[in-house]
Homo-oligomer: A and B are copies of this chain.
Amino acid sequence: MDAIGVFDSGVGGLTVVAALRRRLPGESILYLGDTARLPYGSKSPETVTRYTRRNIEFLTERGVKAVVVACNTASALALPQLGVQGVPTWGVIEPGARKAAEVSRGRVGVIATEATVRSDAYPRALRAVRPDLAILSKACPLFVPLVEEGWHDDPVTEEVAERYLRPLLDAGIDTLVLGCTHYPLLVNVLERVVGPDVTLVDSAASVAEMVAAGLAESGLTATHPAVHHFCVTDAGESFQRLARTILRDEDVPLEWVEVV
């Protein structure tokens, strides 16, 4: 199997898959959504690290040539603990931080899960490239359940976003990092709340760039026709529904797998 392995706690990582398919249409993808244990964003570093290790093992046992950790919480909490893997492994924090550092005029807001915010991974990655930045972070634990309820573009979601983002907007941020792969689905609401003067940064496209460069460097670029395959640890209706929205496919066949 000559695929790129991509995993997330659930369906959000498919926003990264969509970007990978656009940037690297010749690459096969093996996706794992750990839906039996989601969400990760409210859990401890130890638990998220244990789950991440097992998910990467699952993908490498299936013979993937590289792994993309398409979950901000797992990238922030687990990747620094896991060390070098048997195959090239990329997270989503660094590319998002790099892009925000490029576009910001000086004040960056970061929205993410509780666990990602607590890890301080984005401020560290942002300051590594631009020590001059002022950075404000805010955990938004209701955003994922609102997306999963299908209220992507809803007055309630807008009220919640207004509440979460008000302190960042009052502090004058000019750039907002969407530090969770679910958040690009809220783009309409977020654009209305932040207004035209704040740039939204979604790491998916930057991740795809990084993966393309990394594969080329390692001589791993695909030579076969692309085949995509999707695995989940729990079969759920909401995964199917959101997967169709994100990937714009009519049908996303799912294989149920056990990862413990």
Contacts and interface: CB of A to CB of B under 8 A. Distances in A.
A236 interface: yes
B234 A44 contact: yes
A160 interface: yes
Interface residues of A, number: 24
Copies in the complex: 2
Interface stretch (A17-25, A35-43, A62-70, A90-98): A35-43
A166 interface: no
A146 interface: yes
Contacts of A142: 142, 145-146, 149
B42 A36 contact: no
Interface in A103-146: 141-142, 145-146
Dominant secondary structure of chain A at its interface with chain B: loop
A141 B237 CA distance: 14
A177 B159 CA distance: 28
A235 interface: yes
A81 interface: no
18 contacts: A36-B37, A36-B43, A42-B236, A43-B234, A43-B236, A44-B234, A44-B235, A44-B236, A46-B234, A47-B233, A47-B234, A141-B145, A141-B148, A142-B142, A142-B145, A142-B146, A145-B145, A156-B159
